[in-house]
Chain A
Amino acid sequence: MASPEGPGAVTSSVNEPLDLVRLSLNEVVFVKLRGDRELKGRLHAYDSHCNLVLGEVEETIYMVDEEEEGGNGEVRTMKKQSEMLFVRGDSVVLISPQA
């Protein structure tokens, strides 16, 4: 079962969505998660579930202060750092290479 592209053509094409993630290995990525959370960090591992390992991570959490009933709930942000972080894939919404 030789692949149509022949040997050696395997690794550097963008044929499926996860190739975008593969090309970001050892690069800084932006990750949007469920629950109004975002991460920025260096991508060291991923799999098909979008489980991730990120290094030198900054997490941003967006929290709405809902004390005022007028609805102008201000958005507060909380930042956290982590030197090495495993992220479970089912929380992932979007992954973008950081330009």
Chain B
Amino acid sequence: MLFFSFFKTLVNHEVTVELKNDISVRGTLKSVDQYLNIKLDDISVVEEMKYPHLSSVKNVFIRGSVVRYVHLPANAVDTPLLEDATRREASQAASKAKQSSS
């Protein structure tokens, strides 16, 4: 849930999604779901000459599993808050594991 919540805070920011097939798509993050599927608006393809078949596409839905990276605007990320949320999630996961094994 941590990254689902995290991406929801980035809605309407400009991001670049790099796919596992090396294509990079830049656009406005419009929505995200629990699988980290992503919807982008107003897209442009980085290295357009290499991938001309996407030049007329205006928006995309990207399946989460094909994503390698998402490049984010650093000023939109509150890193101390993110680290605290990570620690909370880690301790929740640990207590869940303890429950199921005792």
> CB < 8 Å: which of A16, A47, A53, A82 contacts B89?
A47
Main secondary structure on A side of the interface with B = mixed
Say whether B68 contacts A11, CB under 8 Å.
Answer: no
Say whether A91 contacts B68, CB under 8 Å.
Answer: yes
Say whether A55 contacts B74, CB under 8 Å.
Answer: yes
Contact with B along A2-46 (1 / 0, CB 8 A): 010000001100001010001001100000010100000000111
Cβ of A85: which chain B residues have Cβ within 8 Å of it?
A: 69-72
Say whether A83 contacts B87, CB under 8 Å.
Answer: no
A94 within 8 A of B: no
Cβ of B20: which chain A residues have Cβ within 8 Å of it?
A: 35, 91
Say whether A25 contacts B83, CB under 8 Å.
Answer: yes
Say whether B89 contacts A3, CB under 8 Å.
Answer: no
A87 within 8 A of B: yes
B91 within 8 A of A: yes
Say whether A3 contacts B77, CB under 8 Å.
Answer: no
Interface residues of A (CB under 8 A from B): 1, 3, 10-11, 16, 18, 22, 25-26, 33, 35, 44-48, 51, 53, 55, 82-88, 90-91
6 A-B pairs whose Cβ atoms sit less than 8 Å apart in the complex: A3-B98, A26-B83, A45-B85, A86-B70, A87-B69, A88-B65
